[in-house]
Chain A
Amino acid sequence: MYDYFEHQADVGIIGIGNTLEEAFVEGAKAMFQVMCEIKEVEAKEEVKIEVDASDQETLFVEWLNALLAQKDIKDMLFSDFDVKIEGNTLKGVARGETMDLDKHEVKTEVKAATYSQLKIVKDKDYKVQCVVDV
């Protein structure tokens, strides 16, 4: 599950899951939903992502920024993700398809995931959030 939080100029995204991995996956969906209607994006091709960071919060930002880079490099939109986190290293897969302006309703481009309001909260479930610059 994902959600958004209020932000004056940009967009706050929240990924929620039973595990940290699930929360990271949901956070990625939240970010791509800002850019397109993710239900319209079929998981036809996959891209492998590997990132590490000094801590798990930063790892979330690294993960999102790596996805943004792949979106431009491969000219794709992503809708389906798998993530494995070990310590401060993430190995993930993003699935999606080539961006097609006739098929996909594109919305607002995300420029970068930022450290602003970045946090991981572990309660009954995991919530991971940050602001993305649009």
Chain B
Amino acid sequence: MKLELKEKRKYVWELEKHGDMNVLGRVYGEEETVKHLHKDVEMGKDWNALKQIYNVACLPGIQRASLAMPDVHPGYGFPIGGVGAFNMKEGVISVGGVGFDVGCNVANIIIPVKKSDIISKQKELAEALFRDIPAGLGEKGEIGLQPGELDEVLVKGVDFVLKKGYGLKSDKEYYEKKGVLEGADPANVSDIAKRREKKQLGTLGSGNHYLEVQYVDEVFDEETAKVYGVDKDSIIVSMHCGSRALGHQIGTDYLKVLDGAAKKYDIPIRERELVCAPIESQEGKDYVSAIYAGMNYSYANKEILLHLTRKTIGRIFGLSEEDMKLLYCISHNSVMKEKHNGEELMVHRKGATRAFGPGHEDLPIKYQKVGQPVLVGGTMGTSSYILKGTQVAMDETFGSACHGAGRAMSRKQAVQNWRADDIVRELAAKGIIVKGHGRKGIAEESPGAYKDVNQVVDVMDKSGISTKVVKVKPLISVKG
């Protein structure tokens, strides 16, 4: 049978269960996205997202559907934008469902100043953030760890940072899982991973990681915006970063471990990055405890970066750290144990964010009534969004939504098409200051190389998975 998606309802497409699939496949997207997925199959590309959706659907213990969000594109084993939930008994855990940047996340803080205040000090602020926030390849963090402390970071996440006297206690409530996953075991993180870490705690990284100062351009849902604490022209700092080399090495190490496990437990592997182990096997348990350690590192990294950002902004605008509240921090490369319809499941989200609807016990009390903020990052020249999780997401996607715009063009093509200087100039004309650690990096992350974030978000909104609360636009963008 052909790999062909059929329209189920507007913006929702399904791949009928066939062949070795244990469940059907489902894609949320525009017709254009689906055409693109079909085209890759027709062209015989050996690496395509629809095949990956099929492959994930074939894994043991998968529940309901192999899902893809509207920012879908080919990934490693799972597609980017892929979501797969597995039961504990027969289910598996896969490296491909998390990726190499374990626990990569986005956090937004709200800055209580006027848009005009930012504009009047825009250049000064951009330069200060660029100077004070360690970013780019080779940059070191300021927080030196004592011997043995790294293990503590891996176990305690945000709590470690708070104990050291950085960050804000009130932030904790606004991290998914309160900034610490229980069950992390540093003994299952390799020595190489720990040695690679080397002073990277409190650094942004490179590639598509960023820090942006944004303003709310449009409010779609007044009531929820009020609950989230934002309004038209509110100022937000949004930060996208992950677990740095430590997380990359966890991914690399466990590819090998799970490769062996897949053979040992006789699980057919259709793509090498999709190697997996039964959740309840020793290899599976070790991997989960290592991933949780990586995610805890990523939360800790974020809390330190928030501290540095607040210090810089506070100095310039005369604010205290407490004045700048954390709206939310949410991962998009994760696997977590969650309860859905009364059953415990391991939910993989590769380039997809958690998007819990109203009333979920894991949400902060403040967001209980409206649902979780879903932070969707755009590209440096365009818009980003804050959506809210819904009951539809709980019913259809294990409470998951898209995470960003998704690349539409290779980095190579982007560098051929755009020059960094032109991009910086064009964005400056639109009132956006871009600061980058590498000129090539700016060209690679050119807004034109990404899908239109507005379209991606509209699919989420119109399909009811996560609805629009506010749209934000950048004033300052610091690229890693």
- Cβ–Cβ < 8 Å partners of B73 in chain A: 8-9
Q: How far is the CA of A114 from the CA of B259 in the complex (A)?
A: 13
> Does A117 lie within 8 Å of B441, measured CB to CB?
no
- Cβ–Cβ < 8 Å partners of A101 in chain B: 136, 138-139
Segment at the interface with B among A14-22, A23-31, A88-96, A102-110: A102-110
User: Is B85 positioned at the interface, with any CB of A under 8 Å from its CB?
Assistant: no
User: Is B369 positioned at the interface, with any CB of A under 8 Å from its CB?
Assistant: no
- Cβ–Cβ < 8 Å partners of A114 in chain B: 76, 100, 273
What 18 new A-B contacts, CB under 8 Å, besides A7-B412, A68-B245, A106-B206? A8-B410, A9-B75, A9-B410, A9-B411, A11-B410, A69-B196, A73-B198, A105-B438, A107-B440, A108-B441, A111-B251, A115-B255, A116-B272, A117-B46, A133-B76, A133-B99, A133-B248, A134-B411
User: Is B413 positioned at the interface, with any CB of A under 8 Å from its CB?
Assistant: yes
- Cβ–Cβ < 8 Å partners of A36 in chain B: 137
B side interface size, CB within 8 A: 44
In the assembled complex, the CB of B453 is this many whole angstroms from the nearest CB of chain A, namely 15
- Cβ–Cβ < 8 Å partners of A116 in chain B: 47, 76, 272-273
Q: How far is the CA of A69 from the CA of B197 in the complex (A)?
A: 10
Return the CB mask of B381-415 against A: 1 if under 8 Å, else 0.
00000000000000000000000000111111100
Contact A106 B192, CB 8 Å, known A73-B198, A111-B101: no
> Does A8 lie within 8 Å of B46, measured CB to CB?
no
> Does B207 lie within 8 Å of A134, measured CB to CB?
yes
Contact A73 B138, CB 8 Å, known A112-B251, A115-B272, A115-B273: no
- Cβ–Cβ < 8 Å partners of B255 in chain A: 115
A interface, size bucket? 20 to 34
> Does B138 lie within 8 Å of A106, measured CB to CB?
yes
- Cβ–Cβ < 8 Å partners of A108 in chain B: 137, 206-207, 411, 438, 440-441, 444
Give chain B's interface residues, CB within 8 Å of chain A. 46-47, 73-76, 80, 99-101, 136-139, 192, 195-198, 200, 205-207, 245, 248-249, 251-252, 255, 271-273, 407-413, 437-438, 440-441, 444
User: Is A126 positioned at the interface, with any CB of B under 8 Å from its CB?
Assistant: no
> Does B413 lie within 8 Å of A6, measured CB to CB?
yes
Q: How far is the CA of A75 from the CA of B255 in the complex (A)?
A: 24
> Does B408 lie within 8 Å of A109, measured CB to CB?
no
- Cβ–Cβ < 8 Å partners of B137 in chain A: 35-36, 99, 106-109
In the complex, the 3 A-B pairs of residues with the closest C-beta atoms, listed nearest first: A115-B272, A72-B196, A106-B137
In the assembled complex, the CB of A3 is this many whole angstroms from the nearest CB of chain B, namely 10
* Nearest CB in chain B to that of A113: its residue: B252
Determine which residue in B205, B271, B412 has the highest number of CB atoms from chain A within 10 A of its CB, and name it. Answer: B412
> Does A8 lie within 8 Å of B409, measured CB to CB?
yes
User: Is A45 positioned at the interface, with any CB of B under 8 Å from its CB?
Assistant: no
- Cβ–Cβ < 8 Å partners of B200 in chain A: 72
User: Is A46 positioned at the interface, with any CB of B under 8 Å from its CB?
Assistant: no
Q: How far is the CA of A101 from the CA of B203 in the complex (A)?
A: 15
Determine which residue in A4, A8, A69, A134 has the highest number of CB atoms from chain B within 10 A of its CB, and name it. Answer: A8
- Cβ–Cβ < 8 Å partners of B46 in chain A: 117
> Does B437 lie within 8 Å of A106, measured CB to CB?
yes
- Cβ–Cβ < 8 Å partners of A7 in chain B: 410-412
> Does A68 lie within 8 Å of B410, measured CB to CB?
no
> Does B441 lie within 8 Å of A107, measured CB to CB?
yes
* Nearest CB in chain B to that of A7: its residue: B410
B408 partner, pick from A8, A73, A104, beta carbons under 8 A: A8
Q: How far is the CA of A69 from the CA of B250 in the complex (A)?
A: 11
- Cβ–Cβ < 8 Å partners of A56 in chain B: none
- Cβ–Cβ < 8 Å partners of B408 in chain A: 8
- Cβ–Cβ < 8 Å partners of B192 in chain A: 69, 73
* Nearest CB in chain B to that of A9: its residue: B407
> Does A111 lie within 8 Å of B248, measured CB to CB?
yes
A-B contact pairs, 7 of them (CB 8 A): A6-B413, A8-B409, A73-B198, A105-B438, A107-B137, A107-B440, A108-B411
Q: How far is the CA of A75 from the CA of B99 in the complex (A)?
A: 24
User: Is A125 positioned at the interface, with any CB of B under 8 Å from its CB?
Assistant: no
In the assembled complex, the CB of B415 is this many whole angstroms from the nearest CB of chain A, namely 10
Q: How far is the CA of A104 from the CA of B273 in the complex (A)?
A: 33
> Does B138 lie within 8 Å of A99, measured CB to CB?
yes
- Cβ–Cβ < 8 Å partners of A72 in chain B: 195-198, 200, 245
Q: How far is the CA of A17 from the CA of B458 in the complex (A)?
A: 49
> Does B198 lie within 8 Å of A107, measured CB to CB?
no
> Does A112 lie within 8 Å of B80, measured CB to CB?
no
> Does A109 lie within 8 Å of B100, measured CB to CB?
no
B407 partner, pick from A8, A105, A106, A112, beta carbons under 8 A: A8
User: Is A65 positioned at the interface, with any CB of B under 8 Å from its CB?
Assistant: yes
> Does B248 lie within 8 Å of A75, measured CB to CB?
no
- Cβ–Cβ < 8 Å partners of A112 in chain B: 100, 248, 251-252
In the assembled complex, the CB of B257 is this many whole angstroms from the nearest CB of chain A, namely 13
B412 partner, pick from A11, A65, A99, A106, beta carbons under 8 A: A11
- Cβ–Cβ < 8 Å partners of B413 in chain A: 6
User: Is A10 positioned at the interface, with any CB of B under 8 Å from its CB?
Assistant: yes
